[in-house]
Structure 1
């Protein structure tokens, strides 16, 4: 039997499992399907989820709970935009708060971000960490500009914002849109940073552009069939499992 040149072995302790999630449907997704220029509307500033988007969140939550994935995840990393944080806490959080349950601090305050939802508990769920590096293309489109961290802390008290240096969004510029190449480079640096953390199973809730551009860069080093699979666009609230390995 001849050895297969395309196979490789890695010790399990040198691998991490990551669960990549694109945020659920936001109000900007609906408007953008009608007219691409609507992404520049000030009315879509820091876009929140639609009611259909929350239904998507509920479906994905049911899936990760039934398959046991929810119990495996040690950390949830989220982009610090309203739609990603709503998706993250809705899918991986401790569930709706009920009378008599002490869930302080809350993962999400009641009705946060025009959600019309009950408060979400921080009980029996992994920690949540907001990271700027995994946000969407920055600049020009108001839907991709985040609100202040001061505001977010009132809406999502149990999310850790300690890695974000500036209260206001200093990365977003009204006249300059971040390039695809910059997003991809930022994404690869993010995964290099993720490798240095101790968690073995991490969920990352991010955006179409960030996921698409970053995975396409990784795909260039792979077989064409793998490249094609990595390069597929994420649907709203889609989850994909990947293994992260340091080949160096």
Structure 2
């Protein structure tokens, strides 16, 4: 559940200036368009219900250091190692074999993890530079010309980055990509919802908004979400989880969530996915820092996601003894 007693007594904030102790991100993955350096926070949270591991042999992104630009990966079928005309049929067959031969308590999922396109906070961070952004501007909502908080929208470039993903999905669906077997999850922030709609236009069914998929909460104004009623009005095609409060009770101006706590959220979310009646193929549209920690939970090597980038990951989940 997204309720968190540690952060429940949050304070709302309006206006341009937010009094704060400094809470800069290190590395600044949430503030950069590149996703930050190629480092991992490590596995900081013990398994809850399942132990997760990444399965190699399917996608280029899992096989070595990041050395291919995402634009090139779009042309290479999202990084599939099999580039034959039968690539997705072969892929589905291999995944079905893994599921069929799984031992009791084991299961496999294929995750398509997408970071939102460029938002106005990314644009502003690039405008002012990391040091000025992390020590001053990220705690504001505007510089008088640009507005990046709370809950900023995509820039024109951000929309186009997501549309590029949609064009690739169009080509890959024709080649048999498993969109017909997909379940979609989305962070509740505006930039992720807009990215999702652009990335999956005409392909999705019943996307679900879970609060656990949201970006680091606290302190930085770009990461404060809109009220539930506003999200519902803007994105009526999405199903918001019942437990989400009207106002953002997780964000507060005097605190910044840790990597360890984000990994707790990611284990909680993944355990919900594994315990629920969901398909093998899962799409998650989220954010740089939360996906950085999700990849750590999944045992995947560090893979910083640029704005608009997506990474496919095949995972094996093993139910914990006694869980």
| Match in the other structure for 1:104 | none
Counterparts in 2 of 1:11 and 1:73: CA distance versus 1, 3 Å: closer
Q: Which segment drifts farther, 68-77 or 176-185?
A: 68-77
Partner residue, 1:246: 317
Does 2:312 align with 1:210?
no
Deviation of the 1:72 alpha carbon: 3.4
Given the alignment, which residue of 51, 72, 79 partners 2:156? 51
Within the candidate set 44, 49, 61, 2:166 is matched to 61
Alpha-carbon RMSD: 2.1
Any idea what the Cα deviations from partners look like across 1:171-193, whole Å, max 9, x if unmatched? 00111111111112211221111
Partner of 2:303: 232
Which structure is richer in relative contact order (CA contacts within 8 A, separation 6 or more)?
Answer: 2
**CA contact 1:24–1:237 (8 Å) conserved in 2:** yes
Q: Give 1:217 deviation, angstroms.
A: 3.7
Query: Which of 166, 173, 194 is equivalent to 2:252?
Result: 173
**Are the aligned partners of 2:298 and 2:315 in contact in 1 as well (CA < 8 Å)?**
no
Structure 1 residue 165, shift from structure 2 partner: 2.7
Task: Tell me the alpha carbon deviations over residues 141-188 of structure 1, each in whole angstroms, 9 at most, x when there is no partner.
Answer: 110000011111111111001334301110001111111111122112
Match of residue 99 from structure 2: 12
Preserved CA contact (<8 Å) 1:149 1:167: yes
Corresponding residue of 2:140: 41
Q: Is 1:71 equivalent to 2:179 in the alignment?
A: yes
CA gap of 1:131–1:247, structure 2 versus 1, over 3 A, is same
- For residue 171 of structure 1, give the secondary structure of its aligned residue in structure 2: coil
Moved over 6 A (4+): none
In 2, are the aligned partners of 1:16 and 1:244 still within 8 Å (CA)? yes
What's 2:224 paired with? 145
Instruction: Give aligned pairs, total.
Output: 204
The TM-score with structure 1 as length reference comes to: 0.76
